[in-house]
Structure formats: structure tokens, C-alpha cells
């Protein structure tokens, strides 16, 4: 095969890969078109009537950041203003708005409203603003936690602090 033809083919393949979106993409900051519509209070099903309202704390991990703690009070499935969340170690705080259930999982839209975090060598930067939190019951008072948004993901376990908190 001639060198000019080989170079042309290689350039065409590279162009196709770039056009197809290879590599990391930025998460959208608005509500996703694929988000299920918000539903009412949880009903019996795969989560067997798990009461999602309550006070939960946990330890989370995220790539490039030391493990940190979360403290959330879920008081309402209608008003995000009644569901404050704080991330100690990151110094961020915000609210969770209920999106609905997906099988056994409870989904919330997280909006960070305040805080700055320190990163080694970079000073401080503003906390991420928007993402989706998915909570999966792991027993009567435990939840598996997953966050995705703004190119960031974190995981961990939350434990109910006390009844009626």
C-alpha cells in the first residue's frame, strides 16, 4: 500500500473517532431528557416499602479526593428545600429534590448551593453544582449511595441516624 494512501486512511479513522465522541464527555447540567417523571411517595415493591424519609450519614469515596462524610435529612418528597445535605471534608452543602423511583432505587437531583473545596496545589475551587444521587436500600436502615454529575462520580453507604430526625 502506498504511503500517501496509508496516511489518508489513518487520518480518516482518527477523524471518525473524534467525531464519534471518544474520550470523556461533560455531564449535562440541566435535567436530563431521560429522567423519569417525579412520582409520589414510595410504594411497596422491590424496596419493600423502605421509608426513605429520615436522617442519614455516611462515608463516601471519589476519585482524586480523600474519603469524606455526608449528612442528609430527607424530610420531603415534594420540596427540595426540606432536604438539606452537607459534605464534610469537601465543605459543600445543598439540597436534594426527589425525582422518583427506578425499581428499588430512589433518585434525587442534587443541587449544591454553597461551599468551596481545597485541592492540593490549586487553592480552593467552587463545589460542583448539579447531579443525580441514587439510593438503594441495603437493609432496614442502610442505603447504597451513588452520585453522578459534572464529570464526577462518588459512592458509599449511608446509615439512618435515628427515627424522626
* pLDDT tens for each residue of 118-162: 555 445 566 767 999 999 999 989 999 999 998 889 999 999 997
Residue 18 pLDDT? 31
Could you confirm whether domain 48-162 is CATH 2.20.70? no
Task: Find, among 92, 89, 81, 74, the residue nearest to 135 by Cα.
Answer: 74
Residue 24 pLDDT? 29
Q: Which three-class secondary structure state does DSSP give residue 4?
A: helix
**Rounded Cα distance, 26 and 5, in Å:** 35
pLDDT surpasses 50 at 115: yes
| 94 within 8 A of 85, measured Cβ to Cβ | yes
Residue 80 pLDDT? 97
Residue 133 pLDDT? 98
- Residue-wise pLDDT for 20-74, tens only, equals 332 323 334 333 333 334 444 443 344 568 999 999 999 999 998 899 999 999 9
pLDDT surpasses 80 at 165: no
Q: Where are the domains of the chain?
A: 48-162
Residue 150 pLDDT? 86
Residue 44 pLDDT? 38
**Rounded Cα distance, 35 and 107, in Å:** 9
pLDDT surpasses 80 at 17: no
Q: Which residues, other chains included, contact 45 with Cβ-Cβ below 8 Å and sequence gap of 6+? A: 101, 103, 104
- The dihedral region occupied by 85, where left means phi > 0, alpha psi between -120 and 50, and beta the remainder, is beta
Q: What CA–CA distances, in Å, run from 86 to 69, 101, 111, 129?
A: 8, 23, 11, 13
Q: What are the backbone dihedrals phi and psi of residue 15, each rounded to the nearest 5 degrees, phi first?
A: -65, -40
Residue 27 pLDDT? 39
Residue 20 pLDDT? 31
Amino acid at each position: 500500500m502506498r504511503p500517501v494512501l496509508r496516511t489518508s486512511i489513518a487520518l480518516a479513522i482518527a477523524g471518525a473517532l473524534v467525531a464519534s465522541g471518544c474520550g470523556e464527555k461533560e455531564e449535562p447540567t440541566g435535567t436530563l431528557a431521560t429522567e423519569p417523571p417525579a412520582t409520589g411517595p414510595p410504594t411497596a415493591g422491590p424496596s419493600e416499602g423502605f421509608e426513605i424519609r429520615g436522617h442519614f450519614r455516611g462515608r463516601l469515596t471519589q476519585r482524586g479526593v480523600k474519603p469524606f462524610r455526608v449528612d442528609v435529612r430527607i424530610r420531603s418528597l415534594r420540596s427540595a428545600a426540606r432536604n438539606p445535605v452537607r459534605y464534610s471534608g469537601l465543605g459543600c452543602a445543598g439540597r436534594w429534590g426527589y425525582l422518583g423511583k427506578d425499581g428499588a432505587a430512589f433518585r434525587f437531583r442534587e443541587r449544591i448551593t454553597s461551599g468551596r473545596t481545597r485541592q492540593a496545589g490549586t487553592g480552593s475551587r467552587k463545589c460542583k453544582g448539579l447531579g443525580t444521587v441514587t439510593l438503594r436500600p441495603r437493609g432496614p436502615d442502610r442505603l447504597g449511595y451513588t452520585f453522578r454529575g459534572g464529570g464526577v462520580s462518588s459512592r458509599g453507604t449511608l446509615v439512618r441516624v435515628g427515627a424522626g430526625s
